[in-house]
Amino acid sequence: MKNLLLPLVLLFSSTLFAQDIRSYIPEDATFLFSWNADQIGRKVNTRQLMQQESMDLIFQEFVQGMDSLQQEEYHRLMTDPSTYGIESQQPMHFVGKRDDRGTFYAFLFPLTNPSLLEDFVTRQMTVFGDSTVIEDFGAYKLVNLGSYHIGWNNEVGIIADGQPAVPAFDFNIYDEEPTDFEWNEEEPAVEPEEIEEIEEPGEIIEEQPEEIIEEQPEEYYDEEAVEEEYDPGYWEEEESTDVVAEWAGEILCRSFGPSILSNPDYLRVSDEPADAHFWISYQQFMALTSGGLGGQFGGMSMMGAPNPNKFLKSLYDGVFMSMTLHFNQGALELKTEMLGQGRMVKVLQDAYDAKFNRKMLKYIDGRYLLGYYSVRMNVEALVDGFKDILYEAMAEVPMYGESINRMLDVVGIIIDEDALYDLIKGDIFVGMTGVRESETTVITYEYDMDFNASEVEKVVKDQYPEFIVMTSYGNEENMRKLIRLGESFNLFLDMGSYYEIPGGEGMSSYLALHNGVLIFTNDGGLIEDHLSSGVEKANRLSKIHRKNLCKHVQAMFWDVQATWEALQQTDARETDQDLVEMMEGIKDRVETVSLLTSRKVKPSIRGSLMLNLTDKESNALEQVLELVNQVILEASGLARI
Amino acid sequence: MTASKIQRLFLLFFAVQILQGCFEIREEVDLRADGSGRFTFTVNLSESKAKVASYMRLGTFNGQEVPTPADIEEEIGFLKKTLSACKGISEIRTYSNFQDYIFSISGQFADVQSLNAAMERIEATMPVLSEQGAQLRNFGVGTHSFRRYFDYPMELMDDSNLTTLERYMLQQARVVSVYRFQEPIREYSNPQAQLAPNRRAIKLEITLGALMQGTGTIANSIAF
């Protein structure tokens, strides 16, 4: 953890702009995180933030064991990095890369005066022992400080770490030359000798053994012989530091091929103003986070099954994800963009070509809205897109691929795809529209003086969240067939124009089909009395929500404050304390949460996550760091960082 | 078959307990001076009737078959028949309310030993109790004393593993015992019991949670 603290410290302490050091980042980086210190510095007082108690705790942890001079030096590094030649007013970057050699990470920062940095590093080297030296490679210098490397040239400094790849197991080690052995079949088998009977022993004369002198063997373990014979062959261990040093050198020399600045998609998204930017090569990132799904061994492919890595590659190759973070006044926004020429982008672009069924809008009561989630997809386009990819993946595996393809063909005979697409339109809306009160009459007892019990009716009121779930359908007759199936299992009761799912007094749910919309809700009044007209116009969703639903293929909204108020009306405090505690923590800070994915999918698929905070006066970053500060302080008595 | 159905009834009770939680089990014993008396056992699921009705309609709960009203009537009939055949037990009456899910069984006993024997016979039909080989005691009577035992073979429950909802439900379910005597009660051992003003009746109400966690008991020693 300590080797990450220094870059974190520098991230927070940097405040401004300068030269673009992104030319030191390879185009095929797995991910890149960039921090726009200048923009952040204009929004919050970073020096003030640095003085928070949690930062002091982190710092104390970091400098533990150092003498006072060193502590003072690191404190100066935190508060004024320019003292050590670091250009603290520029974007800094954290890059990750995975290739055949291993997995590497590096923090890059711009320099104004590399010699100041070198002096600082030299002073730290005494901490790491005499064997630590600064290696001078001409174009750059590099030093190994234990578990990580620090390097620099005239423009940029780097803190690098990583792990070498574990080499693949070479099954060919067993391909040894066969021992020369000739089986001469002409030779007859050896006949067993007859076993002679043993004569009865005669008198046994015990002879006294002579004195035994134990001779100590000189060397029974010939180390040289063992080393000569031992041939690792299939297992060569490289020092991880050599691999990381090599990679760090490539970065500093820019000997990795084109830089990320040659990627036009990256340039377009990174040039948009943002406080922080995260760029991911999707396929590489999936491989990195999942350990390669079999990694170097490709375990599944050993058994003839499709190699997941290959499948992922075909799906995500050429797909990038860009995320920009915006710390605004009273709000935090994360914008995402999926772009590139990869197949996944194309599949999703086709799948997102779907319209919102506006008929659903009239059934949503917006007066006490707690939240909703809506998503829609063009099912046919989605299935066709993935089918092609799946067939190709199957073709890679001759052992199973052909059988699976033929099986899918048979399934295609049984299932009428067109009928399926006509039945399922690929959209769903789930909404929590308030709290519903139900009354139940129960029997309790009253006792007289002799404790004789008499039955008494009591009305018990319960509160339940009111929900509505809607999906579009095409063929009504086929949909009714599905519902009749549920009826046969006593799930539904046919009430004529709708179905009831009984749940006792005030707790029933209802299912109705109307004009291409299947509605499932516990609002009996809506289904029984207003199925055609819907909710009164004045009580429907507000314009902004209607717009969000229509213009986005995915829309989520959560009114945290309304949810908290609804929770107070229930007995959640007694029945679900964990939920109440969680909500208490959230409702003090967050007003609403919304997630949107745009229906406009070209040239890229865009989305956004917005947290509207209760405190509208201060910047979101200040509020986030204040929260982190509280969490760290609370935990500081329990665990060391 | 009958034993497993009785177990299913218990399963239903506990299922309701977990999911809705609110129900009451009441036992009443009226003891006369000659040692004979009347007993009544009542189970009231009224506060959970919505859930009970749903599960009965579905027919299963957690993969287990839920008894139908006909099954329940059959089991109550079995209980009536079994108790009627017990020596010293007479006038067995049953009550079933499938609207509010209240069920009770009552009868007369010649002496406390007959009552105990009848209860043991019923308990023997429940594998969950009989397989554990437990010697279950229920009631005891002396010259000037009456005793309710409670040493059922139940593992004490650790509520730290329960969710808030489950803890809440266990605190809502109740076990009530009411004993009435012709002599005034001089003293009793269970501090949670309530004495009637005329001192001839005593009532004890305890939550199922307290019973299962061992923090409460229906055991009581009463002296006249």
- pLDDT, tens digit (0-9, with 9 covering 90-100), for A308-364: 566 667 777 788 999 999 999 999 999 999 988 778 888 888 888 888 999 999 999
Q: What pLDDT sits at residue B157?
A: 67
> Is residue B143 less than 8 Å (CB to CB) from chain A?
no
Task: Please state whether A534 falls in left (phi above 0), alpha (psi between -120 and 50) or beta.
Answer: left
Q: What pLDDT sits at residue A167?
A: 67
Report the sign of the C-alpha dihedral through residues B63, B69, B73, B74, in that order.
Answer: negative
- pLDDT, tens digit (0-9, with 9 covering 90-100), for A491-506: 788 888 899 887 665 5
What is the model's pTM?
0.72
Q: What pLDDT sits at residue A229?
A: 47
Q: What pLDDT sits at residue B1?
A: 35
> Among B3, A306, A34, B162, which Cα is nearest to A298's?
A306
Cα–Cα distance for residue pair A377/A205, rounded to 1 Å: 101
> Is residue B203 less than 8 Å (CB to CB) from chain A?
yes
> Is B178 strand, coil or helix?
strand
Cα–Cα distance for residue pair B203/B186, rounded to 1 Å: 15
Lowest mean pLDDT among A134-138, B48-52, B157-161: B157-161
User: Which chain B residues are Cβ-neighbours of A503 within 8 angstroms?
Assistant: 50, 54
Q: Do B50 and A503 touch (CB under 8 A)?
A: yes
Cα–Cα distance for residue pair B149/B152, rounded to 1 Å: 9
Instruction: Provide CB contacts within 8 A for A38, sequence distance 6+.
Output: A15, A16, A17, A89, A90, A91
> Is residue A116 less than 8 Å (CB to CB) from chain B?
no
Locate tokens 């006593």: which residue?
Answer: A490
> Is residue A448 less than 8 Å (CB to CB) from chain B?
no
Q: Do B51 and A445 touch (CB under 8 A)?
A: no
> Among A306, A360, A573, A551, which Cα is nearest to A469's?
A360
> Is residue A507 less than 8 Å (CB to CB) from chain B?
yes
Q: What pLDDT sits at residue A521?
A: 94
CA distance from start to end of chain A: 8
ipTM score assigned to the predicted complex:
0.84
Backbone angles phi, psi at A63, to 5 degrees: -90, 5
> Among A80, A78, A77, A87, which Cα is nearest to A19's?
A87
Query: What does the mean pLDDT of chain A come to?
Result: 79
- Distances in Å between the Cα of A489 and the Cα atoms of A450, A479, A483, A493 are 49, 16, 10, 10
Q: What percent of chain A stands above pLDDT 90?
A: 35
Identify any residues that bridge with A613 across adjacent strands, giving them in sequence order.
Answer: A590
Average the pLDDT over A457-478 and give the result: 87
- pLDDT, tens digit (0-9, with 9 covering 90-100), for B112-128: 999 999 988 888 877 66
| Residue ranges of A 553-612 with Cβ closer than 8 A to chain B | 571, 574-578
Domain residue limits, chain A: 2-166+238-262, 378-422, 427-600
DSSP state letters, A492-511: -EE-SSSEEE--STT--EEE
Q: Which of B18, B46, B185 would you mutate first to test chain A, the one with the most A CBs within 10 A? A: B46
- Measure in Å the smallest separation between the Cα of B56 and chain A Cα atoms: 10
The answer to whether the beta carbons of residues A510 and A524 sit under 8 Å apart is yes
- Measure in Å the smallest separation between the Cα of A531 and chain B Cα atoms: 25
Q: What pLDDT sits at residue A208?
A: 57
Report the sign of the C-alpha dihedral through residues A299, A300, A301, A304, in that order.
Answer: positive
A162/A191: higher pLDDT:
A162
